[in-house]
Chain A
Amino acid sequence: GNSVTQMEGPVTLSEEAFLTINCTYTATGYPSLFWYVQYPGEGLQLLLKATKADDKGSNKGFEATYRKETTSFHLEKGSVQVSDSAVYFCALSNDYKLSFGAGTTVTVRA
């Protein structure tokens, strides 16, 4: 079956620090991979996606590369801001079905 494992939180960083959230997956076939973000009090928002091996998704300064050989899709941002404080979910999709990781809470301090 499909499953997603992501780095446990919470993660606390200072502004302008480098952020990495690890995500690995198990899936049949060739899934699409996603990062969703949930800001406090809001619903899930699609942050970025990648649909095939070696694709790089990027948005709002965040990047993640689809690595088939290591079954990973790690999220990175070079310089975080206080406004990046949120819960980040890694997810994969096969046949229109999304499987989510447990989420990583990130807090950025000024």
Chain B
Amino acid sequence: EAGVAQSPRYKIIEKRQSVAFWCNPISGHATLYWYQQILGQGPKLLIQFQNNGVVDDSQLPKDRFSAERLKGVDSTLKIQPAKLEDSAVYLCASSLDLLGQYFGPGTRLTVT
């Protein structure tokens, strides 16, 4: 079974630029998550989708972050404009049920 795919793996941008991350979940997993993991901390949920609908985006900084999941499969997370404090690893995960989420390798973003 293929795992969660993410791209790119690394990205370096300057502050005020924009960036987009892509995620393809495990086939059949209806629930998709985006997390932000700052160095030395646990992942923090940014947004949760159930199929193509948003279930929880309470911790998403909506003035600069946006996410979509068209057709209920792939998802993109965008940051525009980026700030220095957005430097982190962005993790995508998917789940079928309550018994665990499966994570992609992450995208390491550096904002200079």
Contacts and interface: CB of A to CB of B under 8 A. Distances in A.
Contacts of A4: 42
B56 A101 contact: no
B55 A96 contact: yes
B42 A34 contact: no
Contacts of A97: 45, 48, 56
Contacts of A49: 99-100
A14 B92 CA distance: 34
Q: Which of B48, B56, B101 has the most CB of A within 10 A?
A: B101
Contact of B105 (A42, A100, A101): A42
Contact of A98 (B40, B45, B105, B106): B45
Interface residues on B, range: 20 to 34
B46 to A, nearest CB: 12
B95 A100 contact: no
Interface string B75-103: 00000000000000001010100111111
A102 B42 contact: yes
**Mostly helix, strand, loop or mixed at chain A's interface?**
strand
A77 B45 CA distance: 29
Contacts of A91: 42
B11 to A, nearest CB: 16
Contacts of A89: 42-43
A44 B99 contact: no
A46 B102 contact: yes
A44 B100 contact: no
B98 A93 contact: yes
Interface of B: 4, 31, 33, 40-45, 48, 50, 55-56, 91, 93, 95, 98-106
Pairs of residues from A and B, 4 with the lowest C-beta to C-beta distance, nearest first: A100-B42, A44-B103, A43-B105, A43-B103
